[in-house]
Amino acid sequence: MKLLIQHLINQSISCIKQNISFFISLVLVHILIMLGLVIGSEWISKNVDIYPLKIGPLILRFSLFSLVLGIWTGYFKLILGLIDNQKKSILSLLQFFYLLPKILFVRLLSYATALPVFIFIINKFPYDIKKYGTNIEYYFSDLFYNISTMYSDEISRNLYFAYFNYFDMVVLIILTILPICFMLRFWCLEIIIIDTECNIKESLLVSYSLTKSVHRFIVIGILISLINILMMIFGFVFFIISLTISYIMLFQYYRFLLKQTNL
């Protein structure tokens, strides 16, 4: 495992050194994307109500989600270009929206694996459509806040356990196995589609073949996460640089798996 991590770090450093100007451009583009997301989200939250259960806001949310996903698809294509030492124009960031239907299908597939968990939770804690609309994030944040408040009071805690007991916790844990397994066995599914532009069926088969040993991915994922959390302390720019390098390292691992399995 140590040799693998050293190999990934050396490979990442090598491809950055070979085209340092392109790497700097990737970092700058990454900064612009993140700033655009933050500023855009802030403006929309203050000026547009996008969460009512109406056709207009639903179309707007789907369009915004697709736009952001298409931009990230182009950005990851540029990361792969850096790894392959290809001279790609930063402007080509917006040229890969034709891959969006496949990426959207993969996202839908991943959300479907978590659907039993969501159904179980809203069955236990009813979803107030008038209060939350389509803002699922608000529902879960409100739920976690209420649960944490209950735990601070013994009477509320006893009432909570009478309604949501240990058996329910076991059921919830069992239901989470499916989305966790999907994440571990198909974490590189979108990368495969972006890299090879193959069809959904082929990308599923390739991803499943590459991820037979999930423990290495878990270790690498934890290591990358800890480094990024640490870099957040030094400020936004250092965090973005660290995050960009993390993408390069993760994609290097994907390419390493391809070579190992001769696909």
How do residues 59-102 score in pLDDT, each as one tens digit? 999 999 999 999 999 999 999 999 998 878 888 888 999 999 99
Residue 124: pLDDT band (50, 70, 90) is: confident
How far the first Cα of the chain sits from its last, in Å, is 22
Which three-class secondary structure string do you get for 140-172? HHHHHHHHHHHHCCHHHHHHHHHHCCHHHHHHH
**Domain ranges across the chain:** 2-261
pLDDT score, position 206: 94
User: Mean pLDDT score of the chain, rounded to an integer?
Assistant: 88
pLDDT in tens, 180-222: 999 999 999 999 999 999 999 999 999 999 998 888 999 999 9
Long-range contacts (CB closer than 8 Å, 24 or more residues apart) made by 195-204: 195/80, 195/254, 197/99, 199/102, 200/102, 200/105, 200/106, 203/102, 203/106
Picking from 36, 42, 105, 108, the residue whose alpha carbon sits closest to that of residue 72 is 36
CA distance 97 to 103: 10
Does the pLDDT value for residue 159 go beyond 80?
no
CA distance 99 to 198: 10
Lowest mean pLDDT among 21-25, 122-126, 172-176: 122-126
Do residues 104 and 66 touch, judged by C-beta distance below 8 A?
Answer: yes
pLDDT in tens, 211-258: 988 889 999 999 999 999 999 999 999 999 999 999 999 999 999 999
Lowest mean pLDDT among 51-55, 99-103, 145-149: 145-149
Does the pLDDT value for residue 157 go beyond 70?
no
Long-range contacts (CB closer than 8 Å, 24 or more residues apart) made by 209-213: 209/261, 209/263, 210/254, 210/257, 210/258, 210/261, 210/263, 211/184, 211/185, 211/186, 211/187, 211/257
Residue 163: pLDDT band (50, 70, 90) is: low
Q: Which residues contact 61 (CB under 8 A, 6 or more apart)?
A: 50, 51, 134
pLDDT score, position 150: 65
Look up residue 257 and give its two tokens.
Answer: 């798996």
Residue 154: pLDDT band (50, 70, 90) is: low
Look up residue 159 and give its two tokens.
Answer: 């009432």
CA distance 55 to 57: 6
